[in-house]
Homo-oligomer: A and B are copies of this chain.
Amino acid sequence: MEIIPDRQQFVSFPFYRLDPVWRRLSDAERSRGKAEFLEVAESYRNRMIMLPYSLQGVRGDADFFFWLVSYQLDDFEQLSARLANTGLGKYLSKPYSYLSMTRRSIYIDATHQHEGQEGNRLHIIPGLNKFVFVYPFIKTREWYGLDKKVRQEAMMEHVAIGHKYQSVKINTTYSYGLDDQEFVLAFESDEPKDFLDLVMELRESKASAYTLKDTPTFTGIRHELAEVLDLLDKPAVTKQPVS
């Protein structure tokens, strides 16, 4: 994805849940289904940033999700429609899907960096950490009634606490009017315990008191897409080689 200066990006977090019926299909049918899903996804790689994460062993209501970034909302529509008609997609539902926008163009794809972009501090390359912590976020209406200076001080305290946890990177996107939440937040880190400590410390900040909703909270485990799909039908017992 080519970066376009000063142009806002759309961000989508579609969460997929597998119908257990798929697991009862033949090996051949499952393999074909996964291959189709992978082929469709790969064909959109040049149009958007696409980061897959597994939720297996983490949550019970979804199996995996994508972090998608594109300049075109239509790209998500087309990708979603095509994925749904792959052999695997016909057995997937989406228990959650969050739509948001950046307020300026901030994301850049790791595979599309150009020389001149190095050192560009305004751009974020997501997906380089092992874990992402994603949640939709809504502030209470009382927050918006506070004096602007009070809010600014509260946010500065918030940011200062965040800076103490160097292993955690924050990504903020905006959903006002586009979806049910006000923000979708995505924190990246290789150390879940650091994020745990950060969130625990933030509870005592002034801004935290004005939180209306910050769940569900998803701890995504970063994988290549092929790995995420292979986790869906990971053999129960390793087959022994026939001698």
Binding site for B on A (CB under 8 A): 8, 10, 12, 14-15, 19-20, 23-24, 36-37, 39-40, 54, 56-61, 73-87, 89-97, 99, 101, 131, 133, 141-142, 144-145, 174-180, 182, 187, 192-193, 195-200, 203-204, 208-209, 211, 215-217, 219, 221, 231-237
Is A76's CB under 8 angstroms from B97's CB? no
Q: How far is the CA of A19 from the CA of B133 in the complex (A)?
A: 30
Is A101's CB under 8 angstroms from B144's CB? no
Whether A196 touches B101, Cβ cut-off 8 Å, given contacts A36-B236, A234-B85, is yes
Is B77's CB under 8 angstroms from A177's CB? no
Extra contacts besides A37-B236, A54-B77, A145-B204 (10): CB < 8 Å: A20-B91, A23-B85, A60-B94, A73-B192, A87-B236, A144-B204, A174-B196, A177-B199, A178-B196, A182-B203
Is A12's CB under 8 angstroms from B81's CB? no
Sample (25) of A-B pairs whose CB atoms are under 8 Å apart? A14-B60, A19-B20, A20-B84, A23-B84, A23-B85, A23-B89, A37-B236, A40-B237, A56-B76, A57-B77, A58-B73, A60-B96, A61-B94, A73-B219, A81-B232, A84-B234, A85-B235, A101-B192, A144-B203, A175-B196, A177-B187, A177-B196, A177-B199, A177-B217, A178-B196
Residue of B nearest to A94 (CB): B60
Q: How far is the CA of A85 from the CA of B20 in the complex (A)?
A: 9
Is B74's CB under 8 angstroms from A221's CB? yes
Per assembly, the copies of the chain total: 5
Q: How far is the CA of A123 from the CA of B222 in the complex (A)?
A: 32
CB distance from A9 to the nearest CB of B (A): 10
Is B81's CB under 8 angstroms from A231's CB? yes
CB distance from A183 to the nearest CB of B (A): 10
Is A56's CB under 8 angstroms from B77's CB? yes
Is A192's CB under 8 angstroms from B178's CB? yes
Which of B90, B174, B195 meets A23, CB within 8 Å?
B90
Residue of B nearest to A89 (CB): B236
CB distance from A50 to the nearest CB of B (A): 13
Residue of B nearest to A174 (CB): B196
When A and B form their complex, which 10 residue pairs have the shortest distance between CB atoms, in order from nearest? Answer: A60-B94, A57-B76, A177-B199, A60-B97, A57-B80, A57-B77, A81-B234, A176-B199, A86-B236, A180-B215
CB distance from A125 to the nearest CB of B (A): 22
